[in-house]
Structure 1
Amino acid sequence: MNVDWLIRGRDGRLSAYLLSEATVRCRAEHGPGGSWDPPRTVGGDQRLHSVLALGQGPDRYTHLVSWRPTVKAESGLVHSTHFRPDLAALDWNPIGHPDRTGDRTGNPAVAVDAQGRAHVFVRNKGGGVSMIAQKEKGGWGPWSDLKGHDVRGDLAAVTGTSGRVELYAAVPGGVLHWSQEEAGAVPALDEALEASVRPDTLQALATSAESTTLFFTDDSGDVCAWRPGTRPVTLLASAGPGPVRVIRCELDGHDCTLLAQRAASGRVAFAAYPTEEESAGAWWTESGPELPADALLALAEDEEGRVVAATLSPTTGELRVTRRKDEPGIALEAWRAV
């Protein structure tokens, strides 16, 4: 899954989205620290491939995108919207293929702009990136070829504080960055970073009114932060081999960026630092039980503004959650299975 599978809905409840065989299932929390609903199928009976991307806009609607099989050796992208955890999501709606026809070309990514329009990005057969976006008055616009070359691994789509959409992609020896000049515009390729980047480790976060920050792991195993227009900064050594998850939150009255990663020990490691002040440094602190090797990790804030961390094993379906205590630092409650 592409990053944000734990999402706070319009009614304040947290929902966890998981892939189960050929369908997407959703579990919703009744309230902060409360019980969780049993899994429900999202988007109807459409058979899907085992890939899922999620995004959310200011209206707090959840947008889901996946690939579905069409005819032999071919696939197409489909989209659904989940307005609230206690409502059924819309049925899967076909949105086409970046090359008109063909099989899957890569994992999609989704970002939602300030007007609530989903932007779906996916690698095309030429090795660049294509995009399709919702129109302001409904429906979908045409596919746009955003160019690029030799794109590898998952894409990182993000909506800045401005409400405009940006995209990052790993390529051999660096990262490509696209951004919108104005709302609704086709994102333009505007900067390339030369750096050693491990594919499938990218995550982007809106960190100020002017900037988004890309987090990635380099070939030496260090977690790095990069804002277009600046040089990348080495933040700290990776806690483990998996991707880092990030969230911007308030800790002890300060605007901070919180990182989480499955550590080499199998537990979850956390680190925090003042947002956009990488020079302040960050240090890992491990928490919780040892996790299955396939466990996914996510971060969110509940309706009370408390950071929630969750892990999910696709093999067993086990969902575990913890919340930050009302104490200084990154003090967490005991992890519990739900």
Structure 2
Amino acid sequence: MNGDWLIRGRDGRLSVYLPSGDAVLCRAERGPDGLWGVPRTVGGDQKLHPGLLGIGQGADGYAHLVSWRPTVPGESGLVHSTHFRPRLTALDWTPVGHPDRTGDRTGVPAVAVDAEGRAHLFVRNKAGGVSMLAQREKGGWDPWRDLKGSDVHQDLAAVTGESGRVELYAAVPGAILHWRQLEPGAQPVLEEAMEARIRPGTLRALATSPETTTLYYTDDSGDLCAWRPGGKPLTLLPSAGPGPVSAVRCELDGHDCTLLAQRSASGRVAFAAYPTEQESAGAWWTESGPQLPADAEVSLALDENDRVAAATLSPSTGQLLVTRRKDEPGLALEAWREV
């Protein structure tokens, strides 16, 4: 999955999106008592390719999901669904085409939603660059646009800044590429290429101020780094494990902080927090919860009371664990529980 799969919906309830064979399932909280509903299939009966899901959420709380579906033998197409509220049925999957008109899967899609609620879909194309498809404000989709680039890794990081404009990060051999909308609704333009040696599959972006977003990635030495376009990358701390971090901004003891979470090499979830955009303050990992399967992923969100919530999901076992921050100083968490 690409994007935050634990989200707070428009009704304040938390929900998670779970890949399950050739479908995507959603589980949502039933109420403030912490009970969760049964899994429900997203998007109707359309069969999907497993494990290629992009998720984005707008300021309106709506979730946008994009995945690949088989079409004719040897070819695939992308489909999109909107989920307005976690406890309601999502819209059926709608075909949105292919970045090269025809062909098979080209990469994992990434989704960001602008201030007007328009989804922007990004995916690698067969030439090795990036293509984008954007919703029109009054319905339908604009034509596919080629954002250029070459030798792009298939995992992209899309993010919406506090300005409501969409940005995209991609890794290429020896560098990171950054695209940004200069005006709302405009085609993102390639603004910067920053030299860096990155471990594939470790990009994660977060809006961290009114004008900037921060990209987190693991470099080839195993360090977790933070980069804001226009500046130099900063080493934050050694990576806790091999995959990408999840990141969320939250208030901790009256301070604007960024909280990171990652499945550690030991198999548990590791957390680290620091004042937002103040990497020089330092950060350190604290592990929590039980040991998890090797394929377990972690995601962070804020609940209806703006408390930090965390979830882990193992696609191989289907095990879903959740926890929340306790109502006390610091980052003490409730006991992890299976739902």
Correspondence for 2:25: 25
The number of residues matched between the two structures is: 338
For the residues of structure 2 that align with 1:328 and 1:33, how far apart are their CA atoms? Answer: 22
In structure 2, the partner of 1:2 is: 2
On the 8 A contact 1:32/1:302 being kept in 2, the answer is no
Which residue pairs with 1:47 in the alignment? 47
The residue aligned with 1:233 is 234
* 1:195-229, Cα deviation, whole Å (9 max, x unpaired): 11111100000000010000000000000000000
| Displacement of 1:256 | 0.3
Stretches of structure 1 lacking an aligned partner (at least 5 in a row): none
Q: Distance in 2 between matches of 1:193 and 1:32?
A: 45
Name the residue aligned to 1:135.
136
Moved over 6 A (4+): none
Structure 2 distance, partners of 1:164, 1:250, is 24
1:277 aligns with 2:296: no
Corresponding residue for residue 309 of structure 2? 308
Q: Using the alignment, how far apart are the partners of 2:32 and 2:225 within structure 1?
A: 33
* Cα distance in 1 between the residues matched to 2:100 and 2:212: 32
Q: In 1, are the aligned partners of 2:268 and 2:291 still within 8 Å (CA)?
A: yes
What is the correspondence of 1:1-338 to structure 2 with a 5 Å cutoff?
1-32=1-32, 34-50=34-50, 51-338=52-339
Deviation at 1:33, TM superposition (A): 5.1
Letter of the structure 1 residue corresponding to residue 129 of structure 2? G
Q: Which amino acid aligns with 1:290?
A: Q
Partners of 1:32 and 1:304 within 8 A in 2: no
List per-residue Cα deviations over 1:219-268 (Å, max 9, x = no partner). 00000000000000000001111211111111110000000011111000
Is the Cα contact below 8 Å between 1:235 and 1:278 reproduced in 2?
Answer: yes
Secondary structure of 1:271's aligned partner: strand
The amino acid that maps onto 2:45 is D
Asked if structure 2 preserves the Cα contact closer than 8 Å seen for 1:80 and 1:90, the reply is yes
Secondary structure, aligned partner of 2:155: strand
Deviation at 1:153, TM superposition (A): 3.4
SS of residue in 2 equivalent to 1:177: strand
Residue identity opposite 1:58 in structure 2: A
Task: Write the letter of the residue equivalent to 2:322.
Answer: V
Task: Using the TM superposition, name which of 311-320 and 71-80 deviates more.
Answer: 311-320
TM-score scaled by structure 1? 0.99
Distance in 1 between residues matched to 2:242 and 2:104, nearest whole Å: 29
Q: Equivalent pairs: percent with the same residue?
A: 77
Residue 32 (structure 1) shift: 3.9
Q: Tell me if the contact between 2:3 and 2:56 (Cα under 8 Å) persists in the aligned partners.
A: no
Q: Which amino acid aligns with 1:21?
A: G
Distance 1:308 1:192 in 2: 34
Report the Cα distance in structure 2 between the residues aligned to 1:270 and 1:30, rounded to whole angstroms.
27
